[in-house]
Structure 1
Amino acid sequence: MSVSQVTARKTAYQPFQCLVCQSRFTRHENLKRHFALHNRSQNEASLPCDFCHATFSRPDLRNRHMKRKHPDQQHSEVTKTQADTQTHRARVGQRESPQDNSASLSPGNSENGLPSHHSGEEGDLNMDNMDGGIWAPTVRYERSLDERSRNGDGENTNFAITAPSTREQLNEPTCISQIVQEATDFEQSLLHGTPFLKAPHNLNLQPHQMAPPHSSSLEASLPGFTINSDSPDRLLSNHNLGLPNDWFPTAHQVARGCDLFFAYVSPFVPFLHRPTFDASQVPPHLILSILSLGFQHGEDPECGNQIGSGAELSLHCFHRARSLILSNEEEIERFSHISTVQSYLLLQICAMMYLCGKDSACGLKMHSAMISLARAGGLMQPVSIESSTTTDLDALWREFARTESHKRTLFAVHQIDALWYQFLSIPRSISHLEIKHDLPCPEEDWKASSPAEWAHRQLVSRPTGPSVQYADAVRRFLSPDSDLSDIPPFDPYGAINIAQFLISSAREISGWSTMTGMLSMERFGAVRSSLLALAPFIRPQMEVGSIAYTHTSLCEATWETAMIELQLWSPSHTGGIVEGSIDAVLNQSTYLAPSSGFLCEPETAKAVQPYVNWFLRYLEASVSPTPEAPWVAMYAYKAFLIAWQLVRGGIPGAMEAVGVADGDVEGALAWARMVFSRRQRWQLGKLILVCLDSLGK
């Protein structure tokens, strides 16, 4: 993009210019606030922090600093101030005459039952007096936008779950108690990992639906990007791990963690190009995100590979990466914004599938942030190719890696978005129609270790037809008369996205049928036909029930799960239960398992048995499940629950594939404890073992 184009775009997004220093702003109020700085004296411009020697030019910057750097001290100070204020008001209330009560902040004494205000500009609420009591859950959303999210020109660059503003809520005095209570219940359900039956009243769980920008460049479309990030605690505060603010892993730890990541994690999220990856050129927050997953599969070399040291280092990297993203937004601006999307993606996988529990709430907030940044940053659009005319083979190869990484990052985002819908029943945030990318290139091209090997593959490959966009591929698989033979070869990683789209379609059929009481056999048949047509693309010459324990098992597991979902509808999903964590999903699935008596009907058992058997054989064969995507264990556990119900129901051959006799319920549980104990290194494996113990009671 030329300098003139960049200047024109900046002018279009920032029409207000300071006459003193020529700085530009997107909003007039930001220009007014900035211009006031030129008229301040030195004393007025120095606002000291109450807890350190730092000074600031604006109150909101000081407030943001205090919330980030001194959260514990500030909490103690606020608690003390509130207590003193309440005591003072109680004493004053005893002395005031009835005429003076009209100025009280009590909702009961103000006009229309709403709190009045006696300071500040006309029409503004005195937020400083609303930190406690019933107003806290809703006021926090409004305050975080004003106090924490202004960088330079006042743009908001934080991303999280959004909620209606306090002023909008105050326009409905009859509902304020319900809003506050339900918002509190919703927040608590996420923090504790418990399911909730309904979303809070008037609370928007979706990121802003922004139209995809026309520019294909991820960087060029971000200057006008703003999003309401007024969520509780901005992705939660950092855990106090006793680490210094400048802590970073050693070079030895970084090298070992990256090796672990590419060996065990990258196969199921292959968007980082291993041959051209250089850790020294990667932003710190992305390196830490990589290490947070890598050390879930190995131990810390600085601790002599002591058992458990890897998980501890993973936790440190996880929280340090979050802290960097939240507190060093200005520094992160220097790097590619796609690295922030990738960091959010890896960190939420770590939070949801490895750490679980209370960290799941943080994972869901990061998911909302990731979707919003991906959409606003143009990730849905293909990236422009800048070096297409060069004769430098190495430059061409690196340009290919950059554009393919851009595409594969979006496919990973789409997969995770579909996963949370499958597991948690949280509505999807991305439509397949938004994705304007072609299907991923063949795996052999992506893994080419040198420019010469990549160029050779480009020469010898003979595409059977023009490239196909993802949305068009979905349409062709759903069309009964479509010819699939002319689709060029593509990585099964892209076939996972198509399979997950079909799983989501099956869930939508179950939800629609539950609400209406009618079953659309036409829609059911279309999804089933599409899954059968997709099978050869998942793994060539795949036979139902076959098993090969490689990293490609994720593709097959997703397909087998789709076939199960089509035959058996999730009781928690059709019951309208929305979970807040994987812990809650496992508990709910285990609790509901004994009540599904319809599984014992011969026709149902016969239809689902081949796909359940695939998971039983997979669990039996995976003696060392280190390269396994964590959600495959979730798929497998749900498949075992079906097999266990069939054994309880006396269905012949229910677990014959793994040597469990008909009707042997205890034998089925003993077998499950054996195969899932291989995964007890991870928190997810421990949770499954606890659920198996409760299943046997």
Structure 2
Amino acid sequence: MEKRALQPFQCVTCKSRFTRHENLKRHLLLHRTSAGNTKHPCFYCDRLFSRRDLRKRHIKKQHPQCEVDPECNVEADDSLGITEISTEASGSHVLMERHEVAGTFDHPGISPDGMENGSTGVAQPYPRTPSLSGDDLANLEIRSDSGPVPNMLQSNNVYLSPADEARRQMQHEPTEAMRTHVLFPRELIQKGCDLYFRHVSPSLPFIHHPTFDFTHLPEALLMGMLSVGLQFDTEDEMYPGIAAQAFERGIELLSQSETSEGPLFARNIHTVQAYLLLELYAAMYSAGQDTTIGLQMHHKSVELVRRYGLTEPLTVHSSATEDLDALWKQFIRCESHKRTLYAVNQLDVYWYDTLSQPRLLSHLEIKHDLPCSEQIWKCTSSTQWAHQALTRQNSRSPTKYVTTIQDCLSSNTSFDVSTLEPYGALIIILFLLSSARELSGWTTMTGRLCFERFDALNASLLAFEPLVEKFSDEDPMAVLMKSTWHMVMIELLHWSHTHTNGVVEASLDAAFAAATHLSMSQEISPSVQAIASLESHINYFLRLLSQEHAVYDEAPWVTVFAFKAALIGWQLVSAECWKPAEIIGTGDKWDMYQWMNVVFERRKNWCIGRLVTNSLKELDDAT
């Protein structure tokens, strides 16, 4: 154990640590060697290697029946084929084979999520699934337990002819894209990606849309995008089934990556993003027993965040900032890195609030600045990016996440929350949401309210009120930010029955059922002052539910928060201490129940909408 802790030599690029300086020097060559220098092909498949010893180790593992080096039959030094890597956060040691895969991109020098490539447009060592061998090509079907491929996928020239496959290989298309095209038509993939960027990306903006190209995306991440994106197509009943198959395929690919021989760099940010989207599908769009799979994926994504160093900002290298395009590429890479971490934290807080699942990621681990302006993030060229960066009115220097939270909670600060944009404000409000939950749990256990902490949270939340009213409901991120803020205010003023009763659920189905049951079994009799404080926040969700807008533009957590607020409203109406006049007029709890059925029925094509309407059936007997 002492030997593992003594690794004083650290790579400044990927944070890997080594016990000897010569090991570090050899490791640094991996970052400097371009993909064009890979000159040692495997004799039995299409893999390329930068060193002969790496090729030798590959042949021993993947082609054990074949001769290691048929040219000269000389064995290389085994010790050179293994690089020892230690991650500081987990303390674990991993033995990885290093290899590189060459490819091309429509946007030279940049990958879909902002990972930097060489200046010539040839990909540097890139997060990809390992190339296929002949045996792999014989097993391209989805797992047998996921059902047959729909007939529509076996038409429209889905299976490529030998000529088409040869043409693709001549064009150097990535192997992952070829594998996906065998399963799904190109038009279907494009449609799923378009739906993803329209409905999912606004609330989880970690993939850079202007430089996105699905043909060069790792297959596991593409499957994650399809699984959540295809949920939003209401024209064809087959799409939900196709989304489920994409989910199954994504799980299969991630399980294979656990034992793959790919480089460590190839299993970092793209793998975390794939886990994120598949987790979202399992917990929010499939629900039921799949929620357990989603929560397991969340555990894995947090583990990978620490292992791959996503909690720390990327280091900007001077060699990558020689011109404007290089600066832009470096910016996208760093921003995508940061936003992926914030997406993991976002899901972590929402599972804590929705299911009472314990937090896995500490706020103190986040060492990043807040996200940049969305206008800068969505720029389509380096010149537009430079213009936006120079002409932004709010030219305040970026602030660290922890520093911003400290400023918000401090009474002696000049920090102006009105300078925040919806995404940055959401990130800070998520901290306040988890803090409000922790306060209610601590008070329930001790029987004492910590007024100092309550006052600080309440004052910070009230400081956000002008910002909440500033943005319109046309921006999905602004709606998510507003909904989260109103939910925190409700949590602070009216503690969740499920949380204070120690109910920890493993699925949305169970969480909704528990919330509905406790709403009927536990009476409330708040004071007039408490009702007055709650009224505006509950009315926000009731008005949101009343609007006949495109419900598919709502982030799923908006529907969850609206359901929780509507249940509190039903409790208040049942106790005859408050009535939302603009919703039910002079009606009673039966009218409130019928109204809830109508507004959530509009969301019946969505899994969360169906779960809510099923849970509301329990109120029928009580009303």
**Which of 450, 467, 472 is the aligned partner of 1:520?**
450
- Contact 2:376–2:385 (Cα < 8 Å) also in 1: yes
Matches within 5 A, 1:111-150: none
Q: Structure 1 residues 13 and 649, CA, compared in 2 at 3 Å: closer, same or farther?
A: farther
Aligned match of 2:376: 445
Quote how far apart the aligned CAs of 1:391 are.
4.8
Compared CA separation, residues 387 and 15, structure 1 to 2 (3 A): closer
Contact 1:288 1:317 in 2 (8 A): yes
Give the Cα separation in 2 of the matches to 1:586 and 1:340: 31
Note the residue ranges of structure 2 that are not aligned, 5 or more in a row: 1-8, 24-58, 66-80, 94-114, 117-123, 128-142, 155-178
Equivalent pair of 2:313/2:367 in contact (CA under 8 Å)? yes
User: Structure 1 9/623 Cα, relative in aligned 2: closer, same or farther at 3 Å?
Assistant: closer
Superposed CA offset, 1:247-300 (max 9, x none): 53221111111100001110000111111111122111101101111001115x
**Alpha-carbon distance in 1 for matches of 2:210, 2:418:** 24
- CA distance in 2 between counterparts of 1:353 and 1:515 reads 31
In the aligned structure 2, how far is the partner of 1:253 from the partner of 1:471? Answer: 42
Residue 603 of structure 2 corresponds to 679
Amino acid at match of 1:248: L
Q: Against the structure 1 CA distance between its residues 679 and 353, is the aligned structure 2 distance closer, same or farther, given a 3 Å change threshold?
A: same
Give the letter for the 2:219 counterpart: P
Contact 1:439–1:490 under 8 Å retained in 2: no
- Kept in 2, the 8 Å contact 1:262–1:274? The answer is yes
- Please point out which of 489, 495, 499 is paired with 2:425: 495
Do structure 1's residue 12 and structure 2's residue 19 form an aligned pair? yes
Aligned-residue identity in percent? 37
Q: Measure the CA separation in 2 of the matches of 1:593 and 1:3.
A: 55
TM-superposed CA distance for 1:667, in Å, is 1.4
Alignment counterpart, residue 638 of structure 1, candidates 540, 545, 564: 564
What TM-score do the two structures reach when normalised by structure 1?
0.64
**Contact 1:286–1:342 at 8 Å: present in 2 too?**
yes
The corresponding residue for 1:598 is 524
Deviation at 1:584, TM superposition (A): 0.8
Instruction: Say whether residues 1:431 and 2:356 are aligned partners.
Output: no
1:619 matched to 2:519? The reply is no
How far did 1:394 drift? 2.7
State whether structure 2 residue 461 is matched by structure 1 residue 555: no
Aligned to 2:406: 475
Q: Which amino acid in 2 is paired with 1:12?
A: T
Residue 340 of structure 1: aligned partner: 271
Q: In structure 2, which of residues 63, 73, 90 is the aligned counterpart of residue 210 of structure 1?
A: 90
Per the alignment, residue 572 of structure 1 pairs with: 498
Residue number in structure 1 paired with 2:511: 585
Alignment check: 8 A CA contact 2:13 2:315 kept: no
For the 8 Å contact 1:379–1:406, the answer to whether it is kept is: yes
Alignment-mate amino acid for residue 292 of structure 1: S
Structure 2 letter corresponding to 1:495: A
TM-score, normalised with respect to structure 2: 0.71
Q: Deviations over 1:61-81 (max 9, x none)?
A: xxxxxxxxxxxxxxxxxxxxx
Amino acid at match of 1:564: I
**Offset, 1:398:** 2.3
Alpha-carbon distance in 1 for matches of 2:227, 2:469:
31
1:7 CA drift (Å): 12
TM-superposed CA distance for 1:432, in Å, is 1.3
1:694 is matched by which residue type in structure 2?
A: E
Q: Is the 8 A contact 2:314 2:334 kept in 1?
A: yes
C-alpha displacement of 1:13: 8.9
Structure 2 distance, partners of 1:418, 1:469, is 19
Does 2:200 match 1:274? Answer: no
Matched, 1:310 2:317: no
Distance in structure 2 (CA, Å) of the matches to 1:422 and 1:613: 20
Matched ranges for 1:30-429 at <5 A = 210=90, 239-243=145-149, 248-298=183-233, 305-306=235-236, 308-329=237-258, 330=260, 333=263, 335=266, 337-386=268-317, 390-429=321-360
Amino acid paired to 2:456: A
Q: Which residue of 2 aligns with 1:33?
A: none
Over 3 Å counting, the alpha-carbon distance change for 1:241 and 1:607 in structure 2 is same
2:273–2:340: 8 Å Cα contact kept in structure 1?
yes
For 1:371, give the aligned amino acid: V
Paired with 2:197 and 2:92, the residues of 1 have a C-alpha distance of 31
| Separation (CA, whole Å) in 2 of partners of 1:209 and 1:3 | 13
Aligned residues of 2:202 and 2:477 also touching (Cα < 8 A): yes
Q: 1:515 and 1:15, CA in 2 relative to 1: closer, same or farther beyond 3 A? A: farther
Deviation at 1:389, TM superposition (A): 6.4
Question: How far has the Cα of 1:488 moved from its partner?
Answer: 9.4
Does residue 1:629 correspond to 2:555, yes or no?
yes
User: d(CA) in 2 for partners of 1:463 and 1:694?
Assistant: 50
Report the secondary structure of 2:326's partner residue: helix
Q: Whole-Å Cα distance in 2 between the matches of residues 557 and 210 of structure 1? A: 35
Contact 2:202–2:476 (CA under 8 A) maintained in structure 1: no
The 3 A distance-change label for structure 1 pair 662 and 286 is same
What residue in structure 1 maps to residue 163 of structure 2? none
CA distance in 2, matches of 1:289, 1:263: 15
Contact 2:279 2:297 in 1 (8 A): yes
Q: 1:6 to 1:682 in 2, by over 3 A?
A: closer
Displacement of 1:9 = 5.3
Q: Is the 8 A contact 2:224 2:250 kept in 1?
A: yes
Question: What is the Cα deviation at residue 482 of structure 1?
Answer: 1.2
Question: Residues 491-511 of structure 1: CA distance to partner in whole angstroms, max 9, x if unpaired?
Answer: 321211211111111111111
Q: 2-side partners of 1:275 and 1:7: how far apart?
A: 26
Q: Which amino acid aligns with 1:514?
A: T
Aligned length: 489
C-alpha separation in 2, matches of 1:450 and 1:538 = 31
1:505 aligns with 2:505: no
- In 1, Cα distance between the equivalents of 2:508 and 2:542? 21
Match of 1:530 in 2: 460
CA distance in 1, matches of 2:619, 2:474: 30
Structure 1 unaligned regions, length at least 5: 17-44, 48-53, 58-151, 158-207, 223-236, 300-304
Query: How far has the Cα of 1:549 moved from its partner?
Result: 7.0
**What is the deviation of 1:674?**
1.2
Report deviation, 1:396: 2.2
Q: Once the 2 structures are TM-superposed, how far is the Cα of residue 466 of structure 1 from its aligned partner? A: 2.7
| Separation of aligned partners in 1, 2:14 and 2:332 | 29
Displacement, 1:623? Answer: 2.8
Q: Deviations along 1:623-648, whole A, 9 cap, x unmatched?
A: 32111111110000000001111111
Q: Could you list the per-position Cα deviations for residues 527-570 of structure 1 after superposition, in whole angstroms to 9, with x for gaps in the alignment?
A: 01011123344453x6xxx9667442101000000000000111
Does the 8 Å CA contact 1:477/1:534 hold for their aligned counterparts?
no
Deviation at 1:662, TM superposition (A): 3.7
Distance 1:574 1:686 in 2: 26
SS at structure 1 position matched to 2:210: helix
Distance 1:209 1:368, change over 3 A: farther
SS in 2 for 1:295: helix
Q: Deviations over 1:89-124 (max 9, x none)?
A: xxxxxxxxxxxxxxxxxxxxxxxxxxxxxxxxxxxx
Amino acid of the residue matched to residue 250 of structure 2? A
